Every structure is written in C-alpha cells, then in structure tokens.
A and B are shown apart, each in its own frame.
Chain A
Amino acid sequence: MKDNIDILAIESSCDETAAAVVRNGREVLSNVIYSQIDMHTVYGGVVPELASRAHIEKINPVIEKALSDAGMTLDEIDAVAVTYGPGLVGALLVGVAEAKAIAWAAGKPLIGVHHIEGHISANYIEHPDLKPPYLGLIVSGGHTHLVIVKDWADFEILGRTVDDAAGEAFDKVARAIGLGYPGGPKIDRVAKAGNPDAIVFPRAKVNKSVYDFSFSGLKSAVLNYLNHAAMTGEKVDQADLAASFQKSVVSVLVEHTINAAREHGIRQVAMAGGVASNSALRAAMQAACDREGLSLAIPSPIYCTDNAVMIGVAAFHEYEAGTRSGWDLNAVPGLRLGERGK
C-alpha cells in the first residue's frame, strides 16, 4: 500500500494553462503554468476563443512537463483532478475533456474541482496549520467573495460583489488611465508613488448589505473624475489617482473582512485569488489583522494567480472524502461556491 497520495491537477478556466503534481494536498512536486497574457494584451482583456485555442495548443506539453518535473509517470499518479467551473466555458472544456481522457485511459479516478475552492485551498501549501473554520476573502479578476470556510468543502457565503469583480475594476481603471492590461499589477506599481488620500472616491460598498461589494460605482467615479479633468484641462496625476482608487477598493475589502471576523468570532483569516497579491491589500489586511489579533494567511503570489497546484490541494481533500467524478463530468461556467456538479 502506498503511503502518499499524488494527484495530477489540471487548470484551464481562464487564460493560464496549468498542470501540477501535488503530494498529500501539501507538498508541491511540480507547478507548470503557461500564461497567455501577452496574447490577450493587444485586445485589452481575455478573448475567450483565443484562450480556448491556446489551451489546446499548450495543454499536452504543460501536463507532460508537470509529470517530468515531478519525476513521475502517469502510472504512479493516484488521481487526476481538473477545474470544471466557474470560468470561461470553452477554456474549461479543454481541461475537462483532456483530464477525463487521461484518467480514463490511465485507469485513474477523476476529481472535478471548483476553481474558487482551489484558490482558497492554495493557502494550505504554505500554511500547514490553517484548518477550518476560518474566514476566506477571494479576490480575483472574475470573483469577489467573503466566505466562512466551515469545513474543507463547506462554505457559507457572507458577501460577494453585486457587479464587477475586484480585479475587473483594476483592469477597467487601468485601461482608463492608459496603463493597459493587466491592470492589477500595473496599478499596484504606479500607486506606490502616489498619495492615496489625494482624491476621495466612493467606497465599494452596497448600502443595504453588510458584506456585499460593489465596484462599478467606484469605476464610474474614476471615469467621471477623468472626464471632468479632461473638460476643465486639469492635469491628472496618474499615481495619485491609482493610489486613491486602490485605497478605496482595499479599505472596503479589509473593513468587511474584519467586521465579519468580529461578528462571527473567527480568529483566522485567509486571502486568495490574483488580487491577493496586491501589495497595498496585503499590507492593509496584515495591519488590520495584527490590530485585531487575528492570524492571516496569504499565498505567495505564484499561488495567488491561477495555477493547478491549488486544484491539486483541493482535490486531495475531495479524494480523502471519497469524491469521484463520472466520465460525464461537464464544464459548469457559472458554478457557485459550495455547489457541487455531478
């Protein structure tokens, strides 16, 4: 009987083609990510059809490299895991069809994984002590969720965005001030030289709801500010604007998280998703958690962006719980957190 559970994981939900081998849900044996970002940059965002085409081109080399980097053959793998939602349907389908065929041909169990659960699970790699229950803030280009992780695969959603995702707001504002795509890292960099209190933008809150987020009003306020400046001939300080916008996003993310921790008496906080690598958010959340005496887990940036390691980690807990997907596993682009496909 084998002591270790080694999972080959595949992720293709958006614009990264990724594969990884993860041991026992903790140890990263390989982590291969092919980013398509350069291809999409000229379009100012991810083009779904191009993303799907690139996935088909790269998926075999990426998987083969993940196996060879781990020094393993497919025979030695215990299960094949794949992201089946949420995400771009055409992109998801490439990974799902590929993973199913590999698992079937190699006679291995198949485990479909929820992309957002994967993001949260990324924390277990570098924070082995992190265990449910804890508060999770997932912020990325497609998702903004504040959840209580009650158990390994049991989530209570406290709040979510009612319009744009946090990362989407970064992209849109970056485009408006001429920084281009992807907006998150670019605003983060430019904002370092700016004054976050230079311009007062509205907070990214929803009036009636305690924990929901809204970023489209903030985005409009930035656009209005730019229009007004253009009309009156005022010079816009790009750094000040980026810093002020960023502060408006970050302060609401932090405030909601801390309020939820207080209300629910939770002492651990974990962040996940691409926006969790934003330096202002990391610093502000750390300071707030320190003040409140809360522990904070944030994955390294390499595990914040879309990757397959996080899918392998989440899949391990599913594997241990006996979850097995059928050969009819389908891509579910609108899969909700905590929802199970078949």
Chain B
Amino acid sequence: MKILAIDTSGLTASVACLENDNILAEYTVNYKKTHSQTILPMLDEIARMIELDKSTVDAIAVAAGPGSFTGLRIGSATAKGLGLALKKPIIEVPTLAAMAYQLYGARGLICPVMDARRQQVYNGIYRFAGDTLVTVADQRPIAAADLAREINSMDASLTKDGVIFLGDGLVPCGAFLKEHIEVPVSFAPPHACRQRAAAVAALGAVYYKEGKAVPAADHTPIYLRKSQAEQERERAEQKNGHT
C-alpha cells in the first residue's frame, strides 16, 4: 500500500509518501512562501528522491480541514487533480486528528490548537486507547477561554495525566491556556508541534484499511465555518424574521 499525503491547512506546507509501514519521504517547510508555489515542487522533489512510480500509488491522503480556507483548497485541489489523473481515491484526514496522531502513545489528553483568528482556535480533543486515537471532543472552532473551561470541567479520569497542547494556536493562546487550565499542561516539542504530512499519511493508512477513502471528485474541504457572506446573510435574515 502506497499513500501520498498533503497538508497545506496552516502555515506549514508538507508532503509525504508512505509505503506500508514506512515513510519513504517527507518534506515539510514552514516558511513564508505560498503553498500554491511550494507544494507541487515539494511533491516533485520527493517523487524524484524515491524514484516514485506514480502508477503504484493507491490513494492520496489530504489534511481535509479545518484550516485556512485558501490553504485547504490548495491541498484539496492538488489531491483531487492527483486522484483524477491517477484514478485513485482520496482519504480525508481531519487536520486536528492528524496533528494529534503525531503524539502516539501519549498518556494524557492531546489537544491540538490552530489559530482560527477572530479570538478562536480550531481544536479537537483526543487520547490514545492502546493503538487507537480516540476522539474526546470533535474538531470545532472555539474560544481559548471556552476550551480552558471545557477541560477544567472534564472528569478527572480523563485529565489525570494532564493535557499536551500542540499547534500554531499556541502562539496567540498558549500562555492563556497554561494560566487558566487547572490540570498539568505541557506543550509538544518543535518536531511534533505543527502539521506534518507523515502523520496525515499514517492516520490516512488506518482510515484506508477501514475503507474510508472517497472518490476524488467527491472530496471537499471541511471548513467548519460558513463564508462571511453567508453568515452576514443569515444574521440579516434572522434579524428581519424577528422584527
């Protein structure tokens, strides 16, 4: 089984190729260039390094969201184009689950946070039960204060081993979370603190074996938020409806 994986959901651009239990290549760049310019040259580079025969690819795994809307679409359109040309399905991996999967074996709660602007982070809460990544709270946009309250109100059996945070949401909110959460809080080290396509590939492989791949044509990003225009329109309609 061979999986190409892409993550362009945040500031980090990352591609990887997984063959069975082995990451053949991973290329991750967290620099200011736009994903649109970098992602395909990166994929091309690893393909040459590992002498990839593209016809042997079984599926394309993509960090499907949440994330920057434009970033997600660059990854999704790339994955869809690959899927169309190679006639292979797409494995949609929730961005935050893939981030959490980097901390395999952690005893405490795993709490990835992405900067979602508007005083919010994108977050899901996860833990490992043996080999399996278990979702404690589904990914959603949430205010840091609400996230702290939610963790503080959790049953002690879930939080007794503390909470590990990771992700670029720590840049605006890390200090706040550390201060307001009442159980032990730690931050993941740099190699496991941002999006990585190797984790998208590895969790994607688990989903693939569970039969969760979708036709490339059907894949769309998981935005978790409506567009500004839709939100404004709904607000206006609600207002008119109530008067």
Give A contacts to B, CB under 8 Å.
42-43, 47, 49-50, 52-53, 55-57, 59-61, 63-64, 74, 89-90, 93-102, 104-107, 326-331
Given that A59-B77, A101-B80 are known contacts, is A93 also in contact with B229, CB under 8 Å in the complex? Answer: no
Interface pair A330/B40, CB less than 8 Å apart: no
- What are 10 A-B contacts defined by CB distance under 8 Å? A43-B233, A52-B70, A60-B80, A97-B73, A97-B75, A97-B78, A98-B78, A98-B81, A327-B40, A328-B38
Residue from B73, B77, B84, B227 having most chain A Cβ neighbours under 10 A: B77
Known: A50-B230, A90-B70. A98 touches B77 (CB 8 A): yes
How many A-B residue contacts, CB cutoff 8 Å?
112
| Interchain nearest-CB distance for A122 vs B (Å) | 25
Number of interface residues of B (CB under 8 A): 36
- Report chain B residues within 8 Å CB of A97: 36, 39-40, 73-75, 77-78, 81
A56-B221, A327-B44 known; A99-B81 Cβ under 8 A: yes
Are B216 and A331 in contact, CB atoms less than 8 angstroms apart? no
List CB contacts (< 8 Å) of B58-113 with chain A. Answer: 69-70, 73-86
Contact A74 B85 (CB under 8 A): yes
A50 to B228, CA, bound (A): 9
Query: Cβ of A90 and Cβ of B73 under 8 Å apart?
Result: yes
**Chain B interface mostly helix, strand, loop or mixed?**
helix
B residues near A59, Cβ cutoff 8 Å: 77, 80
Chain B's closest residue to A60 (CB) is: B217
- CB pair B85 A94 closer than 8 Å: no
User: From B74, which residue of chain A is reached at the shortest CB distance?
Assistant: A97
Evaluate contact between B69 and A47: CB separation under 8 angstroms: no
Contact A49 B73 (CB under 8 A): no
| Residue of A whose beta carbon sits closest to that of B76 | A56
Closest residue on chain B to residue A10 by CB atoms: B81
A102-B81, A327-B44, A328-B38 in contact; A93/B217 too (CB < 8 A)? no
B227 touches A105 (CB 8 A): no
Expressed in whole angstroms, the Cα–Cα distance for A98 and B81 within the complex equals: 5
Contact A56 B34 (CB under 8 A): no
